[in-house]
């Protein structure tokens, strides 16, 4: 088996005083192969972006490890991080705030190459090539961010990630600030670039429909824990955790009548609203919202176990298909 481009093992992240606060990330593990997209999906506060920050070195992990192409970068120094920046890049959510309005597109694109001491003529050559790779003309290098639309700015942000020829790109909600038609264009671009360059993409999103479009595998997160892990088609079409069932029922669709039916189906499941339920001190964090919860769910943390075509952390995983049938 080929070595994963990115490996995360038993990642734990605490904010604040470790003994007084529950972990923001609680023993999450996954691999991403070259040419593969792994989606991290969950409600707000589930820990998606915290994982991205830990991978990028923006948030120190409490324990666990992050391996980039087999090299442990969990606690890499600033100097080591500058070296790993060649292979690990990021595209942020907001294309309007992620670009410096006072700098030309060219100045923005060559900055990481300058830090890496790439010869100056090669810097500008690679910047133009990156712009053309994302469907923008080479002369865009002399323009400013204000001269581009939101979708074009996000293409510039992708070009900035590509300019170092990385192995892994972290995509933190890269299309959530864009309209639907522009979303589709950017997602298609990302899929093409992944396949052409054999990029490993860590795709962070809250919309299951978007995750399904770009990802091959998915990790469903709730309060920092992996609730379900598996092939994206299996998780979105045949979910085996009650939380995954709730997410699929809440996924937006373009038809108002169908959206209303989905909302009614979700309410019929009896699953509480995020933010109103208090997590159990022990056991499954979803127990206070789960219609299948029994005493053991509140006492004992369920491990990830094989469930159909995926893995699910649920004591009553065998009864989830019946719950799904009631949607």
> Do 229 and 272 share a domain, yes or no?
no
- Bridge partners, 164 (sequence order): none
First-to-final CA distance of the chain: 39
Same-domain pairing of 47 and 22:
yes
Residue 23 has pLDDT above 70, yes or no: yes
- For the cut 70, the answer to whether the pLDDT of residue 117 exceeds it is yes
pLDDT of the residue at 277: 54
pLDDT per residue as tens digits for the range 216-267: 999 999 999 999 999 999 998 899 999 998 888 777 666 677 667 766 766 6
Residue 327 resides in a domain: yes
Q: What are phi and psi of 228, to 5 degrees?
A: -150, 140
Residue 206: count of CB within 10 angstroms of its CB: 18
Tokens linked to 178: 């864009």
Per residue in 302-321, pLDDT (tens digit) is 999 999 889 999 999 988 87
1 domain-assigned: no
Assign 21 a pLDDT band (cuts: 50, 70, 90): confident
Lowest-confidence range among 94-98, 114-118, 249-253, 280-284? 249-253
Between 2 and 148, where is the model more confident? Answer: 148
pLDDT in tens, 133-178: 999 998 899 999 999 999 999 999 999 999 999 999 999 999 888 8
- Residue 124 shares a structural domain with residue 270: no
Helix axis angle, 150-162 relative to 105-115, nearest 10°? 20
The contacts found for 300-309 with CB under 8 angstroms, 24 or more apart, are: 304/226, 304/229, 307/228, 307/240, 307/241, 308/234, 308/238, 308/240, 309/230, 309/231, 309/234, 309/238
Sign of the CA dihedral with 74 first, then 76, 78, and 83 last: negative
pLDDT interval class at 81 (50, 70, 90)? confident
Segment 119-133, tens digit of pLDDT:
988 999 999 999 999
Instruction: Tell me the Ramachandran region of residue 69: left when phi exceeds 0, alpha when psi lies from -120 to 50, beta otherwise.
Output: left
Contact 82, 115 (CB under 8 A): yes
Q: How far apart are CA 110 and CA 261, in angstroms?
A: 50
Q: Are residues 83 and 199 in the same domain?
A: yes
Q: What CATH code is carried by the domain that includes residue 204? A: 3.40.50.300
Final residue belonging to a domain, choices 211, 237, 263: 237
CB contact at 8 A, 199 and 169: yes
Answer whether residue 188 is part of any domain: yes
User: Range of 267's domain?
Assistant: 238-327
- Residue that is written with structure tokens 């038993």 in the block: 10
pLDDT tens digit sequence for 173-212: 998 888 888 899 999 999 999 999 999 999 999 888 889 9
> Considering the domain boundaries, does residue 244 fall inside one?
yes
Q: Domain for residue 86, yes or no?
A: yes
- Domain end point (choices 218, 237, 256): 237
Q: Count the alpha carbons within 13 Å of 324 in the hemisphere toward its beta carbon.
A: 18
Same domain, 247 and 300: yes
Has residue 113 been placed in a domain? Answer: yes
pLDDT above 90 coverage of the chain, percent: 62
Q: Does 293 share its domain with 185? A: no
Our count of domains for the chain comes to: 2
Picking from 186, 209, 237, the residue at the C-terminal end of a domain is: 237
- 264 shares its domain with 115: no
| CA-to-CA separations, 241 to 97, 130, 184, in angstroms, rounded | 37, 41, 29
Residue 228 lies in a domain: yes
**Model pLDDT, residue 116:** 82
Q: Are both 229 and 325 inside the same structural domain?
A: no
Residue 108 sits in the same domain as residue 246:
no
What local confidence, expressed as pLDDT, does residue 278 receive?
58
Ramachandran class of 25: left when φ > 0, alpha when ψ lies in -120 to 50, beta otherwise? beta
Q: Is residue 326 predicted with pLDDT exceeding 60? A: no
- Are 58 and 70 in a shared domain? yes
pTM for the structure as a whole? 0.91
State whether 228 and 252 are in the same domain.
no
* pLDDT, the chain, mean: 88
**77, part of any domain:** yes
Cβ(51)–Cβ(25) under 8 Å?
yes
For residues 135 and 21, what is the distance between their CA atoms, to the nearest angstrom?
Answer: 46
Residue 19 has pLDDT above 70, yes or no: no
pLDDT at 320: 83
Residue 303 is classified by DSSP as: P
Residues 312, 173: one domain?
Answer: no
């Amino acid at each position: 088996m080929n070595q994963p481009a990115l490996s995360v093992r038993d990642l734990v992240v605490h904010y604040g005083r470790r003994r007084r606060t529950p972990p923001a990330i609680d023993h999450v593990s996954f691999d991403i192969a070259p040419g593969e997209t792994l989606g991290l999906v969950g409600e707000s506060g589930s820990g998606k972006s915290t994982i991205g920050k830990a991978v990028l070195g923006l948030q120190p992990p409490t324990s666990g490890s992050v391996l980039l192409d087999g090299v442990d970068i969990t606690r890499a120094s600033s100097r080591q991080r500058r070296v790993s920046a060649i292979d690990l890049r990021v595209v942020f959510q907001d294309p309007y705030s992620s670009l410096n309005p006072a700098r030309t597109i060219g100045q923005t694109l060559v900055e990481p190459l300058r830090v890496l001491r790439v010869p100056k003529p090669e810097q500008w050559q690679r910047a133009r090539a990156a712009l053309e790779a994302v469907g923008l003309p080479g002369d865009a290098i002399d323009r400013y961010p204000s001269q581009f639309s939101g979708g074009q700015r996000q293409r510039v942000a992708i070009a900035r990630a590509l300019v170092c020829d990385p192995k892994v790109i972290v995509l933190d909600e890269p299309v959530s600030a864009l309209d639907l038609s522009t979303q589709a264009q950017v997602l298609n671009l990302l899929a093409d670039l992944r396949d052409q360059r054999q990029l490993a993409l860590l795709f962070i999103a809250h919309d299951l429909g978007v995750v399904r479009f770009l990802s091959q595998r998915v990790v469903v997160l709730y309060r920092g824990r992996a609730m379900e892990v598996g092939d994206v088609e299996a998780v979105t079409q045949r979910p085996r955790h009650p939380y995954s069932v709730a997410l699929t029922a809440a996924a937006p669709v373009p038809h108002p009548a169908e959206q209303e039916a989905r909302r009614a189906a979700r309410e019929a499941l009896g699953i509480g609203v995020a933010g109103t339920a208090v997590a159990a001190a022990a056991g499954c964090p979803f127990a206070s919202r789960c219609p299948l919860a029994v005493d053991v769910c509140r006492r004992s943390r369920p491990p990830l176990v094989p469930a159909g075509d995926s893995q699910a952390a649920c004591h009553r995983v065998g009864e989830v298909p019946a719950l799904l049938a009631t949607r």
